[in-house]
Amino acid sequence: MARATPTPEARRRSERQNRQRRESNELMALLQQPKGNVATRRRRRISRPQIAGLAVAALVLVAAAVFAFGLGSQARAGGQAGDSQMAQAVPVRAVAARRGHLSVRTAYSGELVGEVSDISPQVSGLLVEVPARIGQRVAAGTVLAVIADVEVRNQLQEARGQLGVAEANRDRAAAELVGVEADYQRAMELYDQGLLSEQEQQQVTSQYATTKANLAAGEAQVRQSAAREALLAEQFANTRVRAPFDAVVSDRYLDRGALVQPGTPILRLVEEAPLLVQFRVPERDLSAVQTGADFDVATEATGDRTFSGTVRRVAGEVRRNDRTVLVEGELAETDELLLPGMYADVSVSLRDLDNALIVPGTALLERVAMDGARSTGVMVPVDGLAQWRAVTVAGRSGEYSAIAGPIEAGELVLTMGHNQLGHGAPVRVVRNEPQPSDAQPSPTGAAGF
């Protein structure tokens, strides 16, 4: 195989390296000559290329010395920075874990509901009056609207007159029947004695039957007239639209002058009590949220006030798109600020934990490992360093959580300033949260904080 021909640049580089090597060797040879041989040294002259090579070599040695000095300085600076970092510990707050009772509660988003009815008339006509106003509280039977009643009033009066005529005809037929029935009884006695001919007996019998039929017809006419009168009386009563229950007027759709017919909504009523709340519960919590379970309700309108209630109904089907079940509860008490349609935060007690190891929820952290696995834990200050302790959350209630793991009661856990700390980070506890003297449950159900 033919050897590759070196390029001009490669040849020049090789020649320069060889020249520098020769000049360096000559310099070393001069330095190694004996001091007494001064004449020889003086007679030996150094060429200009040799001087240039010596200068380059000296520069290389100086640069190497400066680089080594810089590395040493950086190493010393790094050591000093590390010492400074160790001296500047992160200030944190801590609280002691405690044993106590925790009522595990969970919160759901719900909505206050009441019995809502769109009130519409049962008769057609002109709306002549709507005395009810939005926000007005009305009792059952209160007149909410009035429909023109002139026509139906006239019809009612006519029907009542016809009923009177029918009753008079019935009474006349009844009185006539009394006399005819007496004649019929005497005629039958005479006929039995042979004192009355058969023809005369048949005439009396026919008259008696006719009179009875007239009475029956009169009674039927009375019933018919009475039914018509009752129908018109009901229609007349329906010209007054009344509240079916105690409620609040929440909306008003029409004003006077509007033409209405059956089914046309005029007002909307909302029953005030009992006030209900509806919320959806995941199927995993369904075993704890059953009929009779207690809950608390809070709304933005009522601030810190809560209202207790009881679960009354649980739907018999899981909604497939989100795997939740509709739950309806009834509030034991109400307030003027609570209105149907409001959003509500529903807190339901799932279970009670006794002798649980309780820490504030702010102490819990979540970390993600390199493989994507998530873990929950707390930071514990040990000899000025933060140590990561993985724990399992047994339950939560408001601001507190019950945990299980390598934590002992009374051991401090970090609650503030620890979110970005890593295992082994220097910390300085600037404040320990005070421990209570008793273990009475707090409003959220946690004891010891």
Determine the pLDDT at residue 18.
73
Determine the pLDDT at residue 51.
53
* pLDDT band with cut points at 50, 70 and 90 for residue 14: confident
76-101 burial string, b = 16+ CB within 10 Å, else e? eeeeeeeeeeeeebeebbbbbbbbbb
Q: For 223-267, how does the pLDDT look when each residue is reduced to its tens digit (9 = 90+)?
A: 999 999 999 999 899 999 999 988 899 999 999 999 999 999 999
Is the pLDDT at 26 greater than 70? The verdict is no
Nearest in space to 358 (alpha carbons), one of 160, 123, 102:
102
**What is the amino acid identity at position 411?**
E
Residues 6+ apart with CB under 8 A from 443: 398
Residues 6+ apart with CB under 8 A from 162: 225, 228, 229
What is the spatial distance between Cα 203 and Cα 140, in angstroms, rounded to a whole number?
62
Residues 6+ apart with CB under 8 A from 436: 448, 449
Percent of the chain scored above 90 by pLDDT? 39
The partner residues of 118 in beta bridges, in order of sequence, read: 268
The CATH number of the domain covering residues in 90-100+354-432? 2.40.420.20
Determine the pLDDT at residue 169.
87
Determine the pLDDT at residue 194.
77
Lowest mean pLDDT among 102-116, 229-243, 427-441: 427-441
The CATH number of the domain covering residues in 107-113+273-351? 2.40.30.170
* pLDDT band with cut points at 50, 70 and 90 for residue 211: confident
Q: For 128-156, how does the pLDDT look when each residue is reduced to its tens digit (9 = 90+)?
A: 999 999 989 999 999 999 999 888 889 88
What is the spatial distance between Cα 94 and Cα 383, in angstroms, rounded to a whole number?
14
Q: What is the mean pLDDT of the chain?
A: 80
* pLDDT band with cut points at 50, 70 and 90 for residue 180: confident
What is the spatial distance between Cα 448 and Cα 161, in angstroms, rounded to a whole number?
84
Determine the pLDDT at residue 329.
94
What is the spatial distance between Cα 333 and Cα 338, in angstroms, rounded to a whole number?
10
* pLDDT band with cut points at 50, 70 and 90 for residue 85: very low
Mean local confidence (pLDDT), 49-65: 51
283-292 burial string, b = 16+ CB within 10 Å, else e? eeeeeebeee
Q: Which two tokens stand for residue 24?
A: 């360096």
Determine the pLDDT at residue 106.
84
State the DSSP string of 210-255. Answer: HHHHHHHHHHHHHHHHHHHHHHHHHHHHHTEEE-SSSEEEEEE---
Determine the pLDDT at residue 282.
92
**What is the amino acid identity at position 326?**
L
Q: Where are the domains of the chain?
A: 8-83, 90-100+354-432, 107-113+273-351, 149-238
